[in-house]
Amino acid sequence: MSPPSTADNPGGLGAGRHSIALGFESLAIHAGQAPDPSTGAVVTPIFQTSTFAQSAVGQHLGYDYARTANPTRSALERCLAALEGATYGLAFASGMAAADALLRQLRPGDRALIPDDAYGGTYRLVSKIHAPAGLDYLPVATHDLKAIAEAFTDNTRMVWVETPSNPLLRVIDIAAVAQLVHQHDAVLVVDNTFATPYLQQPLALGADAVVHSTTKYLGGHSDVVGGFVATSDEDLASRLAFVQNSAGAVPGPFDSFLVLRGVKTLAVRMDRHCTNAATVVELLRSHPAVDQVYYPGIPTHPGHDIAARQMRGFGGMISFTLHAGEAAALAVAGATRLFTLAESLGAVESLIEHPHRMTHASVVGSALAVDPALLRLSVGIETVDDLLSDLSQALGILG
């Protein structure tokens, strides 16, 4: 089976009057989304159909059954592939389904190196689903190139990184890790959920595959769950398409439409997420109740120089600890009014959460456990002064 979801002309729009190289913002709005040929509809329709008519057995217009391919999903796959500078793109029902399709490329006995501060769901998928099926995995401090080099064994086939990472916003030098991984004949997967392709393009830096939870910044409005994998490796794309079609964890047409709609404003949203977050960081750094602030835009952040080199901006995610420990963190998380207390991230509205008891509860007691005094913010695109006032009043309850 050949990979169906090719971006016909990444960086352009394919045949016709628009076949010109386009910038990121233009691709986000137009790639894969030419007006519908049958009606002229400017917005890609929600093709709410499970099957497609055939004029004779095996004769159809490129679609036969919607698990294999659906035109709304194809538009999304082409658009996101273009944004990542990838030849192929595959959309999934969730970020975890996308991660699962990548991990299924490994055989029993193969080793995967994963971050020691991996997204909790990724750690759970690796340790509770793939390890019992024979995967050999090792959590590694992936921001430390030497630690990755030392963890390589003959059976290491995949290195998985998140940058910036969750929840400590560690930064990984993608180009340096890619070089190391390729010396060992393994593949490098980058979870680009926190950065988005607007801020960082891992394939251009040497990664073999990019994985996303489109639930976050790409969708951007907290109204859809989805996942995505981008790669320019034809063989990997074919094998992923085989999993996508065989296991069937595909997004429906309405979910695909929502992500496509969200992604049109990705660039302007990310610009505002970055400037709002930088302003919130200033407040936190000068607040007496706050201990550590984790944000790659801070010049003393250990990954600052790498982030400045490989990212267009520092993103909208901030973590910080409180001097007064877990009880204070729980109190502040319960005291914000504009920042909603909720899991997830990357949408227009600001969120606050307590990783130890919420997103990272599944790693408590393991090497991946996080500081109970830590709070994580997903800084939204509301009026920044309102965000500052809300955090000031919430931190103010600590007296």
Residues that bind ligand PLP (CB under 6 A): 94-96, 119, 121-122, 162, 166, 191, 193-194, 213, 215-216, 225, 227
> Nearest approach, Cβ of 215 to ligand PLP (angstroms)?
4
Nearer to ligand PLP, 12 or 355 (CB): 355
**CA 340 to CA 338: how far, in whole Å?**
6
**CA 2 to CA 138: how far, in whole Å?**
33
**CA 326 to CA 378: how far, in whole Å?**
19
Q: Are 364 and 259 in contact (CB under 8 A)?
A: no
Nearer to ligand PLP, 101 or 395 (CB): 101
Task: Identify the active-site residue in 88, 119, 123, 294.
Answer: 119
> Nearest approach, Cβ of 170 to ligand PLP (angstroms)?
12
> Nearest approach, Cβ of 273 to ligand PLP (angstroms)?
14
**CA 124 to CA 252: how far, in whole Å?**
25
Nearer to ligand PLP, 7 or 125 (CB): 125
Nearer to ligand PLP, 6 or 213 (CB): 213
> Nearest approach, Cβ of 264 to ligand PLP (angstroms)?
20
Task: Identify the active-site residue in 191, 208, 255, 371.
Answer: 191
**CA 237 to CA 7: how far, in whole Å?**
12
**CA 39 to CA 27: how far, in whole Å?**
22
The residue with its CB nearest to ligand PLP is 95
**CA 254 to CA 257: how far, in whole Å?**
5
Omega before residue 164 within 30° of 0, cis: yes
Per the DSSP assignment, residues forming a β-bridge with 293 are 320
Active site residue 67: yes
Active site residue 119: yes
Beta strand residue intervals within the chain, DSSP E: 88-92, 111-115, 136-140, 156-162, 187-191, 209-213, 227-231, 290-294, 317-322, 340-341, 351-353, 374-378
Active site residue 144: no
> Nearest approach, Cβ of 192 to ligand PLP (angstroms)?
9
| Strand (E) or helix (H) holding 140 | strand 136-140
Task: Identify the active-site residue in 36, 64, 67, 357.
Answer: 67
Helix/strand/coil for 220: coil
Nearer to ligand PLP, 94 or 201 (CB): 94
Token pair 């217009």: residue: 61
Interhelix angle 95-103/234-247, nearest 10 degrees: 120
> Nearest approach, Cβ of 316 to ligand PLP (angstroms)?
12
DSSP 15: S
Nearer to ligand PLP, 166 or 231 (CB): 166
**CA 333 to CA 369: how far, in whole Å?**
19
Active site residue 216: yes
Q: What residues are annotated to the active site?
A: 67, 119, 191, 216
